[in-house]
Amino acid sequence: MAADTEPLEILLHLPLLAEDKNVPYVFVPSKQALGRACGVTRPVIACSVTSNEASQLKSQIQQLKDAIEKLLI
């Protein structure tokens, strides 16, 4: 989620949902940077990362998830 979202209130329900479902989340400083990371030229205020069992990125996604969970402790 982008921390520079205006108004920030349009995002603030997402952390509550994520915590309720035990899903790790992070805020990034810039919606422009988040958009670039998503591969688009427009600003993005929120995105999700998902994988399936056959994904070649499954191990990398799991490592990222583990790193995020360590930050929350």
Residue boundaries of the structural domains of the chain = 8-72
pLDDT surpasses 80 at 12? yes
Q: Is the pLDDT of residue 44 over 90?
A: yes
pLDDT at 73: 59
Total-model pTM: 0.78
16 exposure class (CB count in 10 Å sphere: 0-12, 13-18, 19+): exposed
Rounded Cα distance, 8 and 11, in Å = 6
49 vs 29 pLDDT, higher one = 29
Q: What is the dotted CATH code of the domain comprising 8-72?
A: 3.30.1330.30
Structure tokens at 49: 């990362």
